[in-house]
């Protein structure tokens, strides 16, 4: 976590240490999640992981299978754990996403939602007083907001695995079957999702397929009317706003569904009893409603506890941020990508397929079938 995110985490660690002077936390920064994954995998192999770490679900699956993690269920139901009311205060999707074999193994840490950031004035000039609620309405709006003469696109950032996944799930599709043995993302629902995204770029020319931070920079420069991103991007974008910006949830095709982002926090078994208890104290403190409200206010990650939304500090942020309240309702139908070890590689394969569809013009069905065949090999290993 760099920039404002790292600053916020450092501040909260300081707050915790002041309230718990017998505990010392040493934060260790990594360049990115790939580096973190490699470091953790290597450390686990030599039985020297840190006391606690951020981790994606597919990593947790591996660590759990190797019996390297403290199953938090044992601490949650200890005298210093969480009450049933406190546990029920977590959004159900976050508990489900951190549960293996009926036991809570990790807890949510830094979670964000998919959103659209949009130029309020630019939309109003085209007759839009609110952001579209369906994908068909969004497509119409993107075309209307595109001005090729002035080099302005309606949108950017839409072509990614998360948006594809939302479209897939909303139309009744899924990534894998229930046994995580067979890919399903090349179903008719997946083909429709991929074709919709491809048409925005190659047929309508209302969206451009930018890389890295290019879409964000062009949005800030007024060359794009809206961008699809995650809620946490607000922390980086807000200091540079020169126009009124709104936030909107993803449109809905049929059944509401969105893919959540971000990692969870896990405690490794290699620490001594004192270290494990200290790590749990931090996790319990960090996921409390008061600290979640503070964390979400500082970073624009989303609170993982329902009651955090009612804390005055966070209520103030909701009132000051156009559209944030509507975006947070996505927590009620949040879903996550597959947690199998093979999906860690499978996600990259799906991303490569989307790139081929957009950049090379490969027929969506063919590209997704090829990707599914490759992922199926990974699943059978």
Which tokens belong to 98? Answer: 């951190």
Tell me what percent of the chain is helix, strand and coil, each rounded to the nearest 5: 50, 15, 35
Per-residue model confidence as pLDDT tens for the chain (381 residues): 888 999 999 999 999 999 999 999 999 999 899 999 999 999 999 999 999 999 999 999 999 999 999 999 999 999 999 999 999 999 999 999 999 999 999 999 999 999 999 999 999 999 999 999 999 999 999 999 999 888 899 999 998 999 999 999 999 999 999 888 899 999 999 999 999 999 999 999 999 987 778 899 999 999 999 999 999 999 999 999 999 999 999 999 989 999 999 999 999 999 999 999 999 999 999 999 999 999 999 999 999 999 999 999 999 999 999 999 999 999 999 999 998 888 888 999 999 999 999 999 999 999 999 999 999 998 887
Give the sign of the dihedral formed by CA 327, CA 332, CA 333, CA 339.
Answer: positive
CA distances from 346 to 41, 62, 85, 187, 225 (A): 18, 15, 37, 16, 32
As given in the structure block, the two tokens for residue 286 are: 């960090």
How far is residue 73 CA from its own chain's centroid? Answer: 24
Strand pairing category for 114-119 and 245-249: antiparallel
Q: Closest Cα partner for 76 from 246, 349, 267, 213? A: 267
Pick left, alpha or beta for residue 32 (phi over 0 → left; psi -120 to 50 → alpha; otherwise beta): beta
* 92 within 8 A of 99, measured Cβ to Cβ: no
DSSP letter for 187, please.
S
Quick one: 173 and 60 in the same domain?
A: no
Are 196 and 160 in the same domain? yes
Q: Across the strands, what pairs with 246?
A: 118
Residues 196 and 126 in one domain: yes
Q: Which residues contact 309 (CB under 8 A, 6 or more apart)?
A: 293, 303, 315, 318, 328
Between CA 290 and CA 302, with CA 296 as vertex, the angle to 5 degrees is 110
Please tell me the predicted confidence (pLDDT) of residue 18: 98
pTM value > 0.75: yes
Task: Return the pLDDT at 1.
Answer: 82
Cα Rg of the chain, angstroms: 21
Asked if 57 and 97 count as a contact pair (C-beta separation under 8 A), the reply is yes
Contacts of 376 (CB under 8 A, 6+ apart): 182, 183
Residues 194 and 311 in one domain: no
Q: Let me know how long the chain is.
A: 381
| Same domain? 83 vs 145 | no
Co-location of 92 and 219 in the same domain: no
* Domain, as residue range, for 24: 3-112+261-330
CB atoms within 10 A of CB 169: 22
Is there a single domain that holds both residue 310 and residue 243? no
**How many domains in the chain?**
2
Please give the pLDDT value at position 298. 96
316 and 245 in one domain?
A: no
pLDDT at 296: 97
pLDDT on residue 186: 97
For residues 121 and 15, state if they share a domain.
no
In the numeric block, the tokens 């809206």 are attached to 226
Strand pairing of 52-55 and 261-267?
antiparallel
**Kindly report the CA angle at 17 between 15 and 21, in degrees rounded to 5?**
135
Pair 317, 343 in one domain: no
Same domain assignment for residues 147 and 126: yes
Coil, strand or helix: which one is 113?
A: coil
Residue 344 sits in a domain of what CATH number?
3.40.190.10
How far, in whole angstroms, is CA 5 from its chain's centroid? 15
Express each pLDDT in 140-150 by its tens digit: 999 999 998 88
Does 20 share its domain with 55? yes
Residue 122 token pair: 């630019």
């Amino acid at each position: 976590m760099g920039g404002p995110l790292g600053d916020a985490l450092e501040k909260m660690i300081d707050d915790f240490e002041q309230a718990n002077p017998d505990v010392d936390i040493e934060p260790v920064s990594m360049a990115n999640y790939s580096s973190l994954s490699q470091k953790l995998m290597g450390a686990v192999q030599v039985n020297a992981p840190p006391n606690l770490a951020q981790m994606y679900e597919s990593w947790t699956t591996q660590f759990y299978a190797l019996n390297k993690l403290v199953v938090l269920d044992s601490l949650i139901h200890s005298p210093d754990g969480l009450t049933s009311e406190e546990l029920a205060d977590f959004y159900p999707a976050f508990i489900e996403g951190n549960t293996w074999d009926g036991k809570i193994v990790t807890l949510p840490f830094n979670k964000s939602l998919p959103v659209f950031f949009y130029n309020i004035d630019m939309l109003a000039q085209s007759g839009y007083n609110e952001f579209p609620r369906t994908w068909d309405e969004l497509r119409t709006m993107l075309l209307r907001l595109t001005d090729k003469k002035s080099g302005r696109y309606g949108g950017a950032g839409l072509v990614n695995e998360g948006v594809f996944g939302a479209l897939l799930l909303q139309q009744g599709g899924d990534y894998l079957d229930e046994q995580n043995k067979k890919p399903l993302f090349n179903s008719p629902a997946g083909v429709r999702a991929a074709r919709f995204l491809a048409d925005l770029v190659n047929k309508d020319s209302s969206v451009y397929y930018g890389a890295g931070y290019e879409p964000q920079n062009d949005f800030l420069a007024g060359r794009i009317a809206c961008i699809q991103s995650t809620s946490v991007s607000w922390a980086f974008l807000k200091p540079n706003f020169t126009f009124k910006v709104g936030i909107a949830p993803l449109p809905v095709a049929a059944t509401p569904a969105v893919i959540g982002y971000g990692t969870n926090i896990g405690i490794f078994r290699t620490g001594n009893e004192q270290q494990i208890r200290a790590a749990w104290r931090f996790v319990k403190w960090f996921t409390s409603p008061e600290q979640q409200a503070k964390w979400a206010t500082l970073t624009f990650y989303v609170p993982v506890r329902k009651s955090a939304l009612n804390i005055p500090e966070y209520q103030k942020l909701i009132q000051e941020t156009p559209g944030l309240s509507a975006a947070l309702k996505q927590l009620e139908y949040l879903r996550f990508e597959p947690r199998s070890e093979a999906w860690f590689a499978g996600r990259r394969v799906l991303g490569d397929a989307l790139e081929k569809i957009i950049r090379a013009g490969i027929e969506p069905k063919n590209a997704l079938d090829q990707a599914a065949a490759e992922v199926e090999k990974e699943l059978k290993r």
